[in-house]
């Protein structure tokens, strides 16, 4: 697989997202900029300028009409995807670490950081999709403070009535969107901070990655652990490949913990694991620093990784990837 190298950020990447159609990739970074690219050839379409701090997170709705971003400048912004225009800004007392659209595009959830006497909070806002999109409300539909340990990542659950959060302590929790009531919690999900959470295509299960060097699959309604993938390096991101039984993991030791002699042991590869057998099946090298974020094309034809080195690498899978028989002798012979 020859990668397409996307060079449009001056600092390390924080999150990458494909849109639902898979023709666009949105990326954000510590350089205060959001970029949008064509996924098939890596051409940059444009930028969304307006934040003046590290942009930690982006998400795009299912129509590719609205983009939402969260930044260290304590602002969450709603953008028009087509024009790059900022439609609305929400302001908070602390930085926004993760944003997510609900499946039906009617809600946006965000996590604000715990800092300077302010509790970490999860807020949910309704999205007014009528008119130009500039008339949004500053008042959240609901707001709640996760107890015991601050939330680091979130996603909407099986439906938009539920929100799943990953926490600094390693636990994962399922909340009711409208009331903030805790439905169920798995306190021993991970031993260290949860760094990423991504839903399966049908939203029935999800994957998490953690600094405890493992990634795990969980059932979305019960938070029961389904599978576990243990590596030898801290993980920053994990994604589920549609239509093939693989998951992709990215991470690597922090740059400050890597000595000059261990640059080769920095483990800056994207790792492919068999989703069912819990075995590593391959690695893709390329980044010069830890991989911070991984996203897979919704049709499963390519994936993108964003690194501490400021580069995005887009890999289109070879035919052999689709021809391979991941279950080996267990697979029925083709007619």
Give the per-residue pLDDT at 153. 97
Give the per-residue pLDDT at 117. 85
Count structural domains, the chain: 1
Residue carrying the six token digits 């080996």: 328
Strand 96-101: give its sheet, edge to edge: 96-101, 107-112, 121-126, 142-144
Are 173 and 187 in contact, with CB atoms under 8 Å apart?
no
Spatial CA neighbour of 174 closest among 123, 219, 212: 219
Tokens of 32: 């205060």
Give the per-residue pLDDT at 255. 60
Q: How far apart are CA 28 and CA 54, in angstroms?
A: 8
Q: Is residue 330 part of a domain?
A: no
DSSP string, 183-212: EEEETTS-SS-EEEEEE-TTSSEEEEEETT
CATH number, domain containing residue 208: 2.130.10.10
From the centroid of its chain, how far is CA 212? 18
Q: Is residue 118 part of a domain?
A: yes
> Could you read off the pLDDT of 16-74 as tens digits, one per residue?
999 999 999 999 999 999 999 999 999 999 999 999 999 999 999 999 999 999 999 99
Q: How far apart are CA 27 and CA 18, in angstroms?
A: 9
Q: Is residue 331 part of a domain?
A: no
Stretches where the chain sits below pLDDT 50 are: 261, 263
Q: Is residue 328 part of a domain?
A: no
Tokens of 98: 């993760």
Give the per-residue pLDDT at 261. 45
Give the per-residue pLDDT at 126. 97
Give the per-residue pLDDT at 252. 86
Domain that holds residue 115: 4-323
From the centroid of its chain, how far is CA 273? 18
From the centroid of its chain, how far is CA 110? 13
Spatial CA neighbour of 202 closest among 187, 189, 219, 186: 219
Q: Is residue 335 part of a domain?
A: no
Q: Is residue 288 part of a domain?
A: yes
- Tell me if residue 70 falls in helix, strand or coil: strand
Q: Is residue 150 part of a domain?
A: yes
Please give the model's pTM, rounded to 2 decimal places. 0.94
């Amino acid at each position: 697989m020859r990668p397409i190298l996307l060079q449009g950020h001056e600092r390390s990447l924080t999150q990458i997202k494909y849109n639902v159609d898979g023709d666009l990739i949105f990326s954000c970074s510590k350089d205060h900029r959001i970029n949008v690219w064509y996924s098939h050839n890596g051409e940059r379409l444009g930028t969304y300028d307006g934040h003046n701090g590290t942009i930690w997170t982006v998400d795009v709705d299912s129509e590719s009409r609205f983009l939402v971003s969260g930044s260290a400048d304590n602002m969450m912004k709603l953008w028009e995807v087509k024009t790059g225009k900022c439609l609305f800004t929400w302001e908070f007392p602390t930085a926004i670490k993760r944003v997510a659209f609900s499946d039906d595009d009617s809600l946006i959830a965000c996590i604000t950081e715990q800092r300077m006497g302010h509790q970490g909070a999860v807020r949910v806002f309704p999205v007014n999709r009528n008119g130009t999109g500039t008339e949004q409300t500053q008042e959240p539909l609901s707001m709640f403070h996760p107890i015991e340990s601050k939330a680091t990542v979130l996603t909407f659950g099986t439906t938009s009535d539920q929100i799943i959060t990953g926490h600094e302590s390693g636990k994962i929790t399922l909340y009711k969107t409208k009331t903030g009531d805790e439905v169920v919690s798995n306190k021993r999900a991970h031993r260290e901070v949860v760094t990423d959470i991504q839903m399966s295509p049908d939203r029935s299960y999800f994957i998490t990655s953690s600094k405890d060097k493992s990634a795990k699959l969980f059932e979305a309604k019960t938070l029961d652990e389904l599978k576990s993938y243990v590596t030898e390096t801290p993980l920053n991101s994990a994604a589920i490949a549609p239509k093939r039984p693989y998951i992709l993991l990215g991470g690597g030791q922090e740059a400050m913990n890597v000595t000059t002699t261990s640059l080769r042991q920095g483990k800056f590869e994207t790792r492919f694991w068999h989703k069912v057998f819990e075995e590593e099946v391959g690695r893709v090298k390329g980044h010069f620093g830890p991989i911070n974020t991984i996203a897979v094309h919704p049709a499963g034809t390519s994936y993108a990784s964003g690194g501490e080195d400021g580069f995005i690498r887009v890999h289109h899978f070879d035919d052999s990837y689709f021809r391979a028989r991941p279950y080996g002798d267990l697979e029925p012979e083709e007619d």
